[in-house]
Every structure is written in structure tokens, then in C-alpha cells.
């Protein structure tokens, strides 16, 4: 496992035309034209290559230079249009290697964190992956560039709705979404090959470990709210034995919901 500098992720948190008239003909009065019907605003649709150079530059700085080596992840983030998940007034910053606010005291995550956490999951084209904390939808979109079997849970209904719209308009229609408490995972769709949590929990949620397949990997920040946390990798081996490893220091907003207290 590579050593890496501590990363702080600040999760703070769209005439008609016709033939020429004869020269000696008297001029005809201009026809009255009915006012054009008001057009409804349509979502901006951009081709897949839109802002590709910016994405490539971002990936070089945020992933390659930092140490991400998984070509599957690198290529996925080169394809994934981060600007489609950034508020309109922040479009000029869409490919900065920084988190950006998306409302509701949340952000679209820093590209380095997205790439690093995704790499640790070791996904394949057939992996079933659960995301806790849909947020803007960007992390789910990156996952969907690798596998069509992506399930994402968001506890804040307005974010869940905006992410759903952004994912559909960007073409990521295979992502399955749910609004609810991510601490308990998605038991109806378990088990999962990989689980990623994008908010800090005070401990590793037992329901998520239970929903992990033998051989599966879970990554999440663990620690107190609004303080230094550890990015923790949980691996369940083929026999079902669980191992944990601390990767590097991070700072995420806390995971919200019951945190299992309702079952105590």
C-alpha cells in the first residue's frame, strides 16, 4: 500500500421564404405573424467529448501524479463528465482538483479522493457495488463507467432527486437509487462485491459488513465528526473473515441517520 500525503476533503457542505415578387407589382402588406410560442427550457445535452481536454488534465494531476495506477479508474474518470454534476455558477471550476459545494451543506468530492477510493474497490465489469451517500451523483457516475451494477443511497431527499436527474440526463440510466438511511445498506440487493461510504461513520457499520460478499471490499472514513478521520479499507476474505486497514487521514462530514441507535 502506497504512503500518501494526508488529504482533507471539505464536505461543506443548471421566416418564411418564397419566390421573388414581380418588379412592377405593388408591394404587399407584411403579413401579421402570430407570436412564437414560448419554448420550454431543455436540459443542456453535450456530446461525450465535451471538455475532454480539461478532464484529461484533471486526471493527470488528481490521479496519475498522486499515485492512482488502476487504468480502469483512470479511463473511467477521463470519460465521466464532472461538469454535469456541478452547479451552473461553478462550471468554470468543474475540473479543478477540489471539492465544490452542491447545496445542503454537501459537496461534489475532490477528484483525488474519488479516484483513490474507487481504485481501492478493485472493481470489474461485473462487480455489484453499493454507494452510501449519492450526493451530486458524480461518484455513482464514475462507478457506472466501470460496472452497470451500481446501487446508491442518499438520506437527503432533495439531493437524491437532483442526483437522479443529473445521472439520467448524463446517460447513467443503469444506476439504481434509493432515498433512506445508508447505515443499514440495501439488504434486498445484497450481497455486494464492493461498498463505498462517502461520509464519516463513528465505526464500521455492521450491516454493511454483513452485506459484503466473501472476497469483497468496503471503504469508508471512520472517526469523530468534523475532525481528522481515517480512511479505512475493510476486506472480507473468502472464508468470511474480516480484516481492516487504515489508509490515510481525511476529513468528511458525518454520516447522518440513526447510526444503528434504533437497534440498540
Q: In this structure, what C-alpha cell is assigned to residue 249?
A: 487521514
Element (H, E) at 131: strand 128-132
What are 150's strand-pairing partners?
129
CB of 244 within 8 A of CB of 233? yes
Residues 6+ apart with CB under 8 A from 1: 245, 247
Q: Give catalytic status of residue 116 as yes or no.
A: no
CB of 174 within 8 A of CB of 126? no
Comparing C-alpha atoms, which of 170, 179, 120, 112 is closest to residue 144?
Answer: 170
Q: In this structure, what C-alpha cell is assigned to residue 140?
A: 455513482
Q: Which of 3, 92, 109, 258 is catalytic?
A: 109
Cα 136 from chain centroid (whole Å): 6
CB of 231 within 8 A of CB of 246? yes
DSSP 158: H
d(CA 167, CA 185): 21
Q: Is the peptide bond before 191 cis (omega within 30 degrees of 0)?
A: yes
Q: In this structure, what C-alpha cell is assigned to residue 5?
A: 500525503
Comparing C-alpha atoms, which of 228, 230, 233 is closest to residue 245?
Answer: 233
- Cite the active site residues: 109
Amino acid at each position: 500500500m502506497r504512503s500518501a500525503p494526508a488529504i482533507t476533503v471539505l464536505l461543506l457542505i443548471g421566416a418564411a421564404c418564397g419566390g421573388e415578387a414581380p418588379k412592377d407589382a405593388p408591394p404587399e402588406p407584411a403579413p401579421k405573424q402570430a407570436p412564437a410560442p414560448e419554448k420550454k427550457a431543455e436540459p443542456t445535452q453535450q456530446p461525450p467529448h465535451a471538455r475532454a481536454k480539461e478532464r484529461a488534465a484533471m486526471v493527470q494531476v488528481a490521479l496519475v501524479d498522486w499515485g492512482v495506477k488502476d487504468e480502469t479508474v483512470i479511463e473511467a474518470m477521463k470519460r465521466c463528465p464532472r461538469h454535469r454534476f456541478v452547479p451552473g455558477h461553478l462550471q468554470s471550476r468543474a475540473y479543478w482538483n477540489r471539492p465544490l459545494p452542491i447545496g445542503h451543506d454537501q459537496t461534489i468530492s475532490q477528484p483525488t479522493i474519488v479516484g483513490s477510493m474507487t481504485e481501492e474497490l478493485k472493481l470489474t465489469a461485473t462487480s455489484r457495488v453499493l454507494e452510501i451517500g449519492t450526493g451530486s451523483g458524480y461518484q455513482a457516475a464514475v462507478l457506472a463507467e466501470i460496472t452497470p451494477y451500481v446501487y446508491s443511497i442518499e438520506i437527503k431527499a432533495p439531493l437524491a432527486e437532483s442526483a437522479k436527474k443529473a445521472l439520467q440526463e448524463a446517460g447513467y440510466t443503469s444506476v439504481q437509487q434509493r432515498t433512506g438511511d445508508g447505515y443499514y445498506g440495501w439488504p434486498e440487493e445484497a450481497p455486494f462485491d464492493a461498498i463505498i461510504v462517502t461520509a464519516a461513520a463513528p465505526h464500521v457499520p455492521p450491516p454493511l459488513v454483513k452485506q459484503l460478499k466473501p472476497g469483497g471490499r468496503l471503504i469508508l472514513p471512520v472517526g469523530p465528526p468534523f475532525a481528522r478521520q481515517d480512511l479505512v479499507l475493510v476486506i472480507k476474505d473468502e472464508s468470511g473473515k474480516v480484516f481492516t486497514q487504515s489508509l490515510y487521514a481525511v476529513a468528511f462530514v458525518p454520516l447522518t441517520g440513526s447510526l444503528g441507535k434504533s437497534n440498540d
